[in-house]
Every structure is written in C-alpha cells, then in structure tokens.
Amino acid sequence: MTDLKLYSMPSSGNSYKVRLLLALLQRSFTHVALEEGSDALVRVHEEGWLPFGKLPVLELGDGTRVPESNAILCYLANGTALLPDDPVRRAHAQAWMFWEQNQHEGVIAVRASLRSYPSRAHEATPDRMADLLSRGHEILGVMEDRLQEAAWLTGDQPTVADVSLYAYTHTADSRGGYDLQRFPAIRAWLQRMTEQPGYVGLDHVPG
C-alpha cells in the first residue's frame, strides 16, 4: 500500500533530497512532479495550500502535509539507521542540516540558480557571482575538513545529514561553477553516496 504522496520539483535539490532518501529506504510513494514555471505549479500556488509556499511537501495517508525538505528527511528516517538513535549523533546530524539551510543552500544553490534560470540572469552581477564563488569555496572547505577525518559527516555511517548535503554539493561544479577538484575528500564522499543500495540520481524522477 502506498500511503505517501510527494509533491516535488524535478530540477530542485531540496526536492531531490527527499526522492533520494525514499529510494535509499526503498519506500514506495506517489510522485506529483511540479516543475518550476509549469502550469501545474501555478495552479498549486493559486490553490494556496502550499506550506511556506515552497516544495517539496510530503502528504501522509490521512492528508496531513509535512513541508521543508530536511524536516521531511528526519520524519521519514525516524526509526531507521539513517537517523541516529543516539541523541548526540542525532544532534550532530541535525546540526549539519540546519547549517545546510542557513549557510550552504543560500550560497551554493543560489549561485546555481542564478546560472541556470534565465529569469534570474539580471540578478547575476559579476560582483555577486564572485562573492558567491568565494563564499561557496569556504563552505565546501568546512565539509572537506570534516570528510578528511570521517567517511560520512557524522561518523562511519551515512545519515540524513549526508543525504541533505549531497543534493546541492553533487552539482556544485556542473551547475554552480565551483571547483570540486580542490576537495578530494568531498569527491570521494560523493562517490560513496552513489554506491549506496537504492541510490538514484537527480534525473531519476519517479512516476
């Protein structure tokens, strides 16, 4: 029985996080794809039910909706090895995820967005792009330092923190224009993620 419905944006890293976690957990779900700029997404905005006005949103069997990609990850991974049962390890995983939303996403995903969407091209001034580039390399440096000492962000096993950070890091070069050659531990970690049972790429959109 499929009791989960995911509203997600195929091209968005925040949406991809949830699709990747569901694949790793081998959970079945109904997928509602709402691409940026699509008529279907415009209709959803007009209906006015989208919490915080953003995707992804997980809808449970009883119709309850859970917004915010990282909150959805913690909800779905609860009781599995991907959300550590140990309180300190769980706190460390969630610390990485709050940092992702506060620091990483607002720089690395934003630079990728400014390069990708023609509607945002006017915001991509040379000064802003240079600033986002240098700040993004600093942020990647924080991850590199950690991944030089451990295989995964919170230790020797992958958690929701790795799923969360993977989404925008694995396209930091191709979409964001960042130089991942400087970060060998990040590249090895990205490779390890692709080797996890059930792994799916950003382009794998179910349904």
What are the residues binding a copy of itself (CB under 8 A)? 51-53, 60, 64, 66-72, 74-75, 78, 87-88, 90-92, 94-95, 97-99, 101-103, 105-106, 142
| Cβ nearer to a copy of itself, comparing 71 with 121 | 71
Task: Say whether 201 sits in a helix, a strand or coil.
Answer: coil
CB contact at 8 A, 182 and 172: no
Closest approach of a copy of itself to the CB of residue 75, in Å: 4
| Cβ nearer to a copy of itself, comparing 85 with 179 | 85
| Cβ nearer to a copy of itself, comparing 135 with 199 | 135
C-alpha to C-alpha distance for 106 and 172, rounded to whole angstroms: 13
Task: Say whether 66 sits in a helix, a strand or coil.
Answer: strand
Strand order of the sheet with strand 5-8? 30-33, 5-8, 57-59, 65-67
Closest approach of a copy of itself to the CB of residue 144, in Å: 14
Closest approach of a copy of itself to the CB of residue 175, in Å: 19
Closest approach of a copy of itself to the CB of residue 162, in Å: 16
| Cβ nearer to a copy of itself, comparing 86 with 194 | 86
In one-letter notation, the amino acid at residue 176 is G
> In sequence order, what are the residues at sequence separation of 6 or more whose Cβ sits closer than 8 angstroms to the Cβ of residue 22?
4, 6, 29, 76
